[in-house]
């Protein structure tokens, strides 16, 4: 018996019966769970710009992964070819938020589990993961940090502005200070006592203050 005979008898005959009903059920559950992931991502998004394209990618990724796993589990030869094909594919999409990695792996895991026929695990596991993410994402952070950028003409204006900042904010910390011949630029991380930002107007009215800008801090600011 040659190697070709062993290969043909062991692999080419290892093809399970294809069922359209099973495929339809798997894709339906994959779509439903993918839409649930889409909903959780939309509700928990805390970045700067919401990407509807990335959110829809989560649904498509669940469906495509399920389809691939269904094909792989039904044909051993196809599984070998699929491994070789996927090994040369490279994805270079930039991940801006670490949480996006969580949702990408979640969608892929759902596709794999449903494609393998373990639908209850995918459904129950996704519900638990979704509830946990929603609970932690909806926790209100009242000490949300802001970045205050202040431009002053002289040292007196800087001191007066710093006094107002200490009175009107809960906490302030100087991150950077740039001094030139005719300008003093300060970058401060501040936590406000409440949602009122009127104190920025007070800073602008100080004699010697050129500009005062308050920016919502999301972890991507670089002074």
Q: What is the pLDDT of residues 171-192, one digit of tens each?
A: 888 888 888 888 889 888 888 7
User: Model confidence at 80, in pLDDT bands (50, 70, 90)?
Assistant: low
pLDDT of residue 39: 92
User: Model confidence at 4, in pLDDT bands (50, 70, 90)?
Assistant: low
| pLDDT (mean) for 40-54 | 79
- Asked if 164 and 121 count as a contact pair (C-beta separation under 8 A), the reply is no
Residue 100 has pLDDT above 60, yes or no: yes
Residue 223 has pLDDT above 50, yes or no: no
User: Model confidence at 6, in pLDDT bands (50, 70, 90)?
Assistant: very low
How far is CA 140 from each of CA 50, 88, 120, 131, 135, rounded to the nearest angstrom? 19, 44, 33, 16, 10
Terminal CA-CA length for the chain: 72
Q: Which fold has domain 145-216?
A: Alpha-Beta Plaits (3.30.70)
Cβ contacts of 71 within 8 Å, gap of 6 or more: 78, 79, 82
| pLDDT (mean) for 58-73 | 86
What global pTM score does this model have?
A: 0.60
Closest C-alpha among 121, 141, 107, 137 to residue 30: 107
**Quick one: which H or E segment has residue 80?**
helix 76-87
Q: 122-143 pLDDT, tens per residue?
A: 999 999 999 998 888 766 555 5
- Asked if 169 and 144 count as a contact pair (C-beta separation under 8 A), the reply is no
Residue 14 has pLDDT above 70, yes or no: no
pLDDT of residue 221: 42
Residue 33 has pLDDT above 90, yes or no: yes
- Asked if 218 and 156 count as a contact pair (C-beta separation under 8 A), the reply is no
pLDDT of residue 128: 95
- The pairs formed by 189-193 with CB atoms below 8 angstroms and a separation of 24 or more are 189/145, 189/146, 189/147, 189/148, 189/217, 190/145, 190/146, 190/147, 190/148, 190/165, 191/143, 191/144, 191/145, 191/146, 192/144, 192/146, 192/168, 193/168, 193/169
Locate the domains of the chain by residue range.
3-137, 145-216
pLDDT of residue 11: 47
| pLDDT (mean) for 23-42 | 92
């Amino acid at each position: 018996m040659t190697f070709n005979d062993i290969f043909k008898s062991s692999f080419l005959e290892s093809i399970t019966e294809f069922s359209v009903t099973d495929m339809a059920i798997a894709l339906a559950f994959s779509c439903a769970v993918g839409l649930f992931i889409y909903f959780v991502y939309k509700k928990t998004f805390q970045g700067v710009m919401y990407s509807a394209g990335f959110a829809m990618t989560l649904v498509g990724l669940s469906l495509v992964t399920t389809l691939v796993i269904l094909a792989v589990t039904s044909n051993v030869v196809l599984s070998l070819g699929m491994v070789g094909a996927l090994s040369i594919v490279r994805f270079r999409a930039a991940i801006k938020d670490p949480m996006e990695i969580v949702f990408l792996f979640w969608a892929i895991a759902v596709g794999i589990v449903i494609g393998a026929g373990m639908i209850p695990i995918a459904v129950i596991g996704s519900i638990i993961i979704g509830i946990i993410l929603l609970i932690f994402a909806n926790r209100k952070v009242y000490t949300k940090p802001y970045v205050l950028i202040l431009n002053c003409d002289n040292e007196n204006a800087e001191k007066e502005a710093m006094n107002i900042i200490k009175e009107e904010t809960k906490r302030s910390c100087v991150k950077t200070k740039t001094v030139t011949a005719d300008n003093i630029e300060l970058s401060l991380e501040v936590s406000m006592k409440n949602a009122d930002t009127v104190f920025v107007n007070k800073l602008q009215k100080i004699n010697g203050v050129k500009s005062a800008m308050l920016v919502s801090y999301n972890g991507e600011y670089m002074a």
